[in-house]
Amino acid sequence: MQNMERHDKLDDPATSGDTTGDTHPTARGSRLRSLSTQLLSLALFTLLLTIGCRLLLETLFQLELYPDFWLRDYFGNLAITLLAYALTQSRGKAMLLASVVVIGFQMANGGKLSVLGTPVSPDDLINIQNLFYLTEGWRRVLLMLVAATPLIALLVLTPWRRKSTWGVVATLAVSALLINHFSEPLRVQLDQRFGNSVWNQPANFKNRGLALHVAQESVRTLAKVGKHPDKASVLAATQSLEAVPAPLPVLQASTTAKPATTRASAQRNVHVLVLESFFDPMTLGPEWVPEDPFPEDFRKLWAETGNSHALSPVFGGYTANAEFETLCGFPVTENAVFFEGWLRRKVPCLPAVLAEAGYQTLASHPNVPGFWNRTLAYKLVGFDTYLSKESFNLEDSVEGLLLDHSFYEQGFDKIAQMDSSRPVFNYMLTYHGHLPYPTNDNYPDQIKPGQESVLLNGYINQVWYKSRDLMARLEILKAEDPDALIVIFGDHLPFLGPNYGVYTEALNLPADRAEFTGDMLEYLVSTPLIVIDGQNGPLKLGKLPLYRLPALILEKLGLEDDAGILDWTQNPEDQIIRPVYGMHIDLQADSATACPDGQNAPASCEASASWLARTRLLIQDLFSGKQYSLSELQPATADHIGG
């Protein structure tokens, strides 16, 4: 330990040399030469570190980085290295700390890009606790240690007893306060200098380098925090809602006899079954999926709906965003998990409306309760009860993923114990079907893909079991609860490899998201949708964004007059609008147009862009703002969470 301290002093230009002769020109010159040598070595070290990380990203994650912007990546990493040097006051320690931080963040960013298609964002740092819910036991401990390594390294390598260290900390604190105070003008300057594409975050990262990208997006987040819409703007938006056409896109029920819907229909139970990563793999083509994993009775039932599709806000993950839309009737328009930082107030979402109508409201998901902040989120949207992992027997699981048939059986057993004199809103989110699609001896593979793909093989076999479990439960449910309103859909398409993986090869997707057509984007957000209106049978819904489901459910229950905010996202006539982060898809007749946010959108996107701007304003007001828009509906309706 003494040798290390001695080495640090020799390595530190602040203490090296003849300290008794600091004022002598020769001593000052020696210190400057020592400092220059160390800074030069740090610059060269950072150059090698940057080159190594870029090679790893391109090799391990098949990322195509822009060579023209490597210098920005380098200078961002150099800023981290120099900051580490200022804190540790040692060249060797600075190199070690910078390596831990840069390599750790670069690899995490590569992993997120390959799975979800978006780079690391400030929200990921805020919500890092969700990472630990993905594993258990020693794996969770190991993951926590890896995630904490940068912080541990900082605490261990920084000489906290030196006054100069606290001088650096104070300087950083003042800088952070200034950045927070001037976040909006700083955001404008950064966007003008380095550019910003709200609909192409991967390109933002490649144009900026990771350090600059995270810094720039952090400034953007600071500029948004606490910036609520003003009352006049919100009320103007709510007044403009009256001009919006009202009809939902119910094309036709599969039965001709259709009794009129009355408020008495509200006494029917409602069962919403959200299927993890559920989509039709046969659409990948026979070269990839030569054998249908769906049973014939599922195909027949889905055909009765006209092969209706739900349009999800997400691809490959972020299930909570699909949930938010299904429960609250508003689209997710930002590249973030809405349950985590955007849902901060009690809102009259679907569970709350149904509870007011006399329903018992129950949410079930056999995962840890806090994942994606569900414990708080479910409470804010109006659920009375939330059954999570602890409420289920997990013996019939594959690597922690409870099989759907067991989940259904246990869930409906609990419903049978509820008050039979009151209707139930039963919301069930399955877990089996989640990445990495494991199997075991009890549930071996039943089919094989046409081409080699470990992920596709695991996925189609999980779908084989999921679809059969679903149909078995439906048979029971229709017999025991024939008048129930049943809603079934997939939350998002499955992840099948880095950078869209199998989809890229099967559908010939371009490498750059900027080149995706509207049809490509529509495919990547479309999952099977089945709505069974009791004894009226399945509904033909065509294409329905998930945020329109709450209004549809209330209409079928005869509660459309109670919809309130759930009717505020009616689409313009003859249009279907599907926002995805940074852009939206404008579906009209048989066309799908990709409409990026900003000035580069086609002229045909003008009407949908206007609708989206108003909707965003209402989202900000309702879910994290002052809720001016509720003043006419429910004065003083909600509690504020988190200030």
What's the pLDDT tens digit per position in 314-331?
A: 988 889 999 999 999 999
pLDDT of 135 reads 60
Domains belonging to the chain, first-starting first, are 2-224 (no CATH), 254-572 (3.40.720.10)
Q: In sequence order, what are the residues at sequence separation of 6 or more whose Cβ sits closer than 8 angstroms to the Cβ of residue 561?
A: none
Answer for the pair 336, 118: CB distance below 8 angstroms, yes or no: no
pLDDT of 72 reads 93
Question: How far apart are the C-alpha atoms of 197 and 597, rounded to whole Å?
Answer: 8
Q: What is the DSSP annotation of 585-596?
A: EEEETTEEEEEE
Q: In sequence order, what are the residues at sequence separation of 6 or more whose Cβ sits closer than 8 angstroms to the Cβ of residue 279?
A: 490, 493, 494, 526, 527, 528
Pull the structure tokens for residue 237: 């938006």
Answer for the pair 557, 534: CB distance below 8 angstroms, yes or no: no
pLDDT of 23 reads 56
pLDDT of 244 reads 43
Report how far apart, in Å, the C-alpha atoms of 286 and of each of 283, 291, 614 are: 8, 8, 43
Cα atoms found within 13 Å of the Cα of residue 282, Cβ hemisphere only: 9
pLDDT of 7 reads 47
Question: How far apart are the C-alpha atoms of 382 and 639, rounded to whole Å?
Answer: 12
Question: How far apart are the C-alpha atoms of 32 and 37, rounded to whole Å?
Answer: 8
- The three-state DSSP-derived secondary structure of 14-66 is CCCCCHHHCCCHHHHHHHHHHHHHHHHHHHHHHHHHHHHHHHHHHHHCCCCCC
| Reported pTM | 0.74
pLDDT of 624 reads 85
Q: In sequence order, what are the residues at sequence separation of 6 or more whose Cβ sits closer than 8 angstroms to the Cβ of residue 536?
A: 253, 255, 257, 258, 259
pLDDT of 350 reads 96
Residue-wise pLDDT for 535-550, tens only, equals 999 999 999 999 999 9
Report the residue count for the chain.
Answer: 643
Question: How far apart are the C-alpha atoms of 84 and 90, rounded to whole Å?
Answer: 9
Considering just the CA atoms, what is the radius of gyration of the chain in Å? 27
Which residues in the chain come in under a pLDDT of 50?
1-7, 9-10, 14-21, 243-264, 635-643
Q: In sequence order, what are the residues at sequence separation of 6 or more whose Cβ sits closer than 8 angstroms to the Cβ of residue 584?
A: 333, 577, 578, 595, 597, 605, 608, 609, 612
